[in-house]
């Protein structure tokens, strides 16, 4: 089982190897100019998610993905000031849990600090914090990340059962209805303005992959589209394509003003069938602060280590 768990987590795409800055706007200035240049080179500003194609205006058929990785395109998709559905956190003591730790590159049985977290949309999950954090520190660390998690769409979090926190600068991961966070790396994501965007990516792996990655309609959309949204998705199509594509789909439909100009046309020309799959098959309530929706039947949340469908 532990060997399987060692392959269970998606590995978040490494950060670009550029000098770090204290302010995220400085950190991303070059990448945002590059993204805008790419978009303007590919297309003019689009006004609809699915741009119509006419005989007088033939659609471009890109073969190369327009981006390297989608979490880096627009660090303002989610802002610290955006509302969060995170509500309460209650300490439940310590108990043994099997938790994946990238520093060990395997799962280990840990006498973790446990918390019950609730959200205003009616969802809840178990938070497991490595006891390398003292109890009070474990709670403050958990709250810090749960606020960001609560900014994600309700339906993305609906089947999330556990949230795992360790110290360390290893990359985030997602799988088996669990999201894995290493807090030193988490602070780096936060400084660069992409903490919630990265949690979005990993939560897709934790909750959506198992339902969609083998869906014939999704596979047909992949086959029909002219390219992938990113080279990361192209190089790992079974593992990364859903997470890479869905972030921009949600951003384009809900927060287009936070994306670079021309994004709608780039998406509609690069991955139109994937976009339609998300629109028609998921049909999500995007607002995390909306009234509660019925939850799925409760399941055991003790381990949160079932083998997910994505693997490094």
Reported as a single tens digit per residue, the pLDDT across 62-115 is 689 999 999 999 899 999 999 999 999 999 999 999 999 999 999 999 999 999
Q: How far apart are CA 247 and CA 227, in angstroms?
A: 17
Residue 33 scores a pLDDT above 80: no
Angle formed by the axes of helices 263-270 and 24-42, nearest 10° = 60
Q: pLDDT digit string (tens) for 6-17?
A: 334 455 544 433
Spatial contact of 39 and 263, defined as CB atoms under 8 Å apart: yes
Give the mean pLDDT of 40-55. 32
**Quick one: pLDDT at residue 11?**
55
* Phi (first) and psi of residue 209, to 5 degrees: -50, -45
Say how many C-beta atoms besides its own lie within 10 A of residue 89's C-beta: 15
Q: pLDDT digit string (tens) for 188-238?
A: 999 999 999 999 999 999 999 998 999 999 999 999 999 999 999 999 999
Q: 182 or 35: which carries more pLDDT confidence?
A: 182
Q: How far apart are CA 19 and CA 190, in angstroms?
A: 16
For residue 116 the two structure tokens come to: 């019950």
Spatial contact of 181 and 165, defined as CB atoms under 8 Å apart: yes
Q: How far apart are CA 172 and CA 189, in angstroms?
A: 10
Render 21-78 in DSSP notation, one character per residue. Answer: -SSHHHHHHHHHHHHHHHHHHH-----SSS---BTTBPPP---S-SBS-GGGT-TTSS
Contacts of 216 (CB under 8 A, 6+ apart): none
What is the pTM (predicted TM-score) of this model? 0.77
């Amino acid at each position: 089982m532990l060997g399987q768990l060692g392959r269970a987590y998606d590995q978040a795409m490494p950060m670009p190897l550029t000098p770090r800055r204290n302010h995220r706007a400085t950190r991303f200035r070059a990448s945002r100019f590059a993204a805008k240049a790419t978009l303007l080179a590919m297309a003019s500003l689009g006004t609809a998610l699915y741009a119509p194609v006419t005989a007088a205006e033939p659609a471009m058929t890109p073969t190369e993905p327009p981006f390297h990785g989608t979490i880096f395109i627009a660090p303002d998709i989610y802002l610290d000031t955006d509302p969060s559905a995170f509500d309460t956190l209650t300490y439940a003591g310590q108990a043994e849990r099997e938790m994946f730790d990238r520093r060990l590159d395997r799962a280990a049985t840990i006498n973790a600090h446990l918390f019950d977290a609730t959200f205003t949309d009616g969802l809840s999950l178990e938070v497991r914090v490595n006891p390398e954090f003292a109890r009070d520190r474990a709670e403050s660390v958990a709250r810090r990340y749960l606020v960001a998690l609560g900014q994600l769409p309700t339906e993305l979090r609906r089947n999330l059962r556990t949230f795992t926190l360790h110290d360390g600068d290893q990359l985030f991961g997602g799988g088996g209805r669990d999201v894995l966070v290493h807090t030193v790396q988490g602070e780096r994501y936060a400084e660069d303005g992409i903490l919630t965007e990265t949690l979005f990516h990993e939560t897709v792996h934790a909750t959506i992959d198992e339902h969609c990655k083998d869906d014939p309609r999704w596979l047909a959309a992949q086959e029909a589209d002219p390219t992938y949204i990113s080279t990361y998705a192209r190089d790992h199509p079974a593992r990364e394509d859903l997470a890479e594509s869905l972030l921009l789909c949600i951003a384009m439909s809900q927060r287009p003003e936070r994306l670079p100009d021309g994004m709608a046309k780039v998406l509609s020309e690069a991955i139109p069938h994937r976009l339609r799959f998300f629109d028609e098959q998921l049909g999500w309530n995007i607002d995390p602060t909306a009234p509660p929706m019925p939850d799925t039947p409760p399941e055991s949340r003790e381990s949160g280590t079932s083998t997910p469908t994505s693997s490094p």
